[in-house]
Amino acid sequence: METNKIAKAVVQIPKVLYTEYHESVSFRDLILNSTYCGSSERVSVEMLANALSEHPENVENWLAWSDNKRTDSGWFFRRQLAGGFEVGYFPHTEDRPSLRYAETDIFLACAKFIKYEIDDVCSG
């Protein structure tokens, strides 16, 4: 599959998970079905950000996905009380620093989270 199509499929994963396949397909299955794992080096954060900008509602789906994760470690994406967004790893480690983004960088922040999150799934 062409990389821009992969990026567009990936940014919709939480929407698909919550609306269409809630119980029959896992998050991991949707990532594997997108063919992202075989093309991860060619699907850039910028491609993901562009795909998000075409369908901005997907940002809220990724915020919800991050907020609803029930795990003792992993990537997170959240709004900051003072404005903007944070992408980080819990628990914090030196090799996985938290990144802060301005409100105007919403697509970049979300794309960075997506890249980290699904790259971990592909490598695990």
- Per-residue model confidence as pLDDT tens digits over 69-96: 888 899 999 999 999 999 999 998 888 8
Classify residue 86 as exposed, middle or buried by CB count within 10 Å of its CB (0-12, 13-18, 19+).
middle
Decide if pLDDT at 21 tops 80.
no
Side-chain half-sphere CA neighbours of 120 within 13 A = 12
According to the model, what pLDDT value does residue 88 have?
A: 96
- Per-residue model confidence as pLDDT tens digits over 26-67: 899 999 999 999 999 999 999 999 999 999 999 999 999 999
Residue ranges in the chain assigned as alpha helix (H) = 3-11, 13-19, 27-33, 45-54, 57-68, 106-123
Instruction: Respond yes or no on whether the N-terminal peptide bond of residue 91 is cis (omega within 30° of 0).
Output: yes
Does this model's pTM top 0.85? yes
Length of the chain: 124
According to the model, what pLDDT value does residue 22 have?
A: 58
Nearest-angstrom CA–CA distance, 87 and 78: 7
| C-beta separation of 115 from 45 below 8 A | yes
